[in-house]
């Protein structure tokens, strides 16, 4: 379809762009989630991730080059689960900004943000990041960007039986803000990879090992997220999962039929491992 490329501000034929990278979606499907379900609408099955007509062919090419780098240098090496550290260059910062920028421009017109005192700040961030992604600035003004890589959850005190599944399997993207707003960030996660950029307030103490250096650096493992704002968000988001509409009986039957057809494969998958771990953790939490 014809439209305005949101990156280069040119009228052109637009591509249907993935918000969450396609390689991450494909990996989720290969490792147990054959049909994806959105965070807020569990009755809607998707064979692909969130997509919007946002970018021109040139912009898609710019982003896909960095996605390929991330998949080869960070995503698959980390998922081997034997990494002590991962080195990166400026491609990690560019990839992270490109992901969070797509999330941000998709959220700017959301009804829940209209009238919020930080909306103008978010619009400023979107322009700042756009110029950087176009190559018109070396480092954006809003450069507090973080990456947090998760693994199997060993213990928790959250009233939920989906902690491991959220942290290692769920796709999510949103604007994070407390009330009154003393902290605002743009957030995205897929599989075991969590990204956010603090754009207002917050406290950088304890986050030095998670901050992405725009020019390159090293990610050492294990990581430890000590940010009070994001840890509060993670807890609330996981609990919120339990309050979302449950899967309908019709969709439950579809899931059960699909499971029966692919039982042996699913039981060996990462998704099944996550579910089993959540069951163990919930029994331990309740002292069963």
List pLDDT tens digits, range 167-178. 999 999 999 999
At residue 83, the pLDDT reads 78
Side-chain-side CA neighbours of 58 within 13 Å: the count stands at 12
Q: Identify the helix (H) or strand (E) that includes residue 258.
A: helix 249-261
This prediction has a pTM of 0.92
Q: In degrees rounded to 5, what are phi and psi of residue 121?
A: -65, -40
Question: How far apart, in whole angstroms, are the C-alpha atoms of residue 172 and residue 217?
Answer: 26
Let me know: does 274 contact 164? Beta carbons within 8 Å. yes
pLDDT at 45: 53
pLDDT of residue 44: 53
Q: What pLDDT shows up at residue 202?
A: 87
Can you spell out the DSSP letters for 201-236? E---TT-TTTBPPTTEEEEESS-----HHHHHHHHH
pLDDT at res. 36: 61
Task: Give the per-residue pLDDT at 288.
Answer: 60
Which has the closest alpha carbon to 88: 222, 213, 223?
213
215-273 pLDDT, tens digit per residue, is: 999 999 889 898 999 999 999 999 998 887 766 777 767 777 777 788 888 888 999 99
For residue 156, what pLDDT is reported?
A: 94
Closest C-alpha among 234, 191, 212 to residue 31: 191
Report CA 259 to chain centroid distance, whole Å. Answer: 26
CB 44 within 8 A of CB 37: yes
C-alpha neighbours within 13 Å on the C-beta side of residue 5:
20
The tens-digit pLDDT sequence of the chain (288 residues) is: 899 999 999 999 999 888 999 999 999 989 986 656 555 555 555 555 678 899 999 999 999 999 999 999 999 999 987 778 999 999 999 999 999 999 999 999 999 999 999 999 999 999 999 999 999 978 999 999 999 999 999 999 999 999 999 999 999 999 999 999 999 999 999 999 999 999 999 888 879 899 999 999 999 988 989 899 999 999 999 999 888 776 677 776 777 777 778 888 888 899 999 999 999 999 888 886
CB neighbours of residue 182 within 10 Å: 12
pLDDT at position 119 is 97
Cβ-contact 34, 274 below 8 angstroms: no
Residue 61's Cβ-count burial label (10 Å; 0-12, 13-18, 19+) is exposed
pLDDT reported for residue 113: 94
φ and ψ at 187, to 5 degrees?
-130, 140
User: What is the dihedral sign for C-alpha 144, 145, 148, 149?
Assistant: negative
Which residue matches tokens 């003393």?
A: 182
Q: H or E segment at 273?
A: helix 270-285
């Amino acid at each position: 379809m014809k439209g305005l490329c949101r990156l280069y501000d040119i009228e052109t034929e637009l591509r249907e762009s993935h918000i969450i990278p396609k390689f991450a979606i494909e990996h989720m499907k290969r490792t147990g989630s054959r049909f994806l379900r959105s965070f807020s609408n569990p009755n809607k099955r998707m064979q692909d991730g969130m997509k919007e007509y946002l970018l021109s062919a040139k912009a898609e090419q710019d982003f896909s080059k960095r996605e390929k780098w991330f998949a080869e240098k960070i995503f698959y090496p980390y998922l081997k689960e034997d990494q002590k550290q991962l080195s990166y260059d400026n491609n990690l910062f560019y990839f992270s900004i490109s992901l969070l920028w797509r999330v941000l421009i998709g959220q700017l017109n959301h009804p829940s943000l209209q009238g919020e005192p930080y909306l103008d700040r978010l619009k400023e961030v979107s322009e700042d990041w756009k110029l950087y992604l176009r190559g018109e600035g070396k480092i954006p003004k809003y450069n507090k960007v973080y990456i947090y890589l998760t693994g199997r959850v060993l213990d928790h005190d959250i009233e939920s039986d989906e902690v491991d599944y959220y942290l290692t399997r769920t796709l999510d993207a949103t604007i994070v803000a407390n009330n009154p707003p003393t902290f605002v960030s743009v957030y995205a996660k897929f599989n075991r990879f969590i990204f956010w950029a603090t754009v207002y307030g917050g406290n950088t103490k304890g986050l030095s090992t998670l901050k992405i250096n725009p020019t390159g650096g090293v990610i050492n493992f294990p990581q430890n997220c000590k940010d009070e704002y994001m840890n509060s968000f993670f807890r609330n988001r996981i609990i919120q999962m339990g309050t979302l509409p449950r899967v309908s009986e019709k969709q439950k039957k579809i899931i059960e039929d699909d499971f029966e057809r692919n039982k042996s494969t699913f039981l060996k998958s990462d998704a099944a491992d996550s579910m089993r771990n959540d069951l163990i953790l919930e029994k331990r939490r309740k002292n069963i």
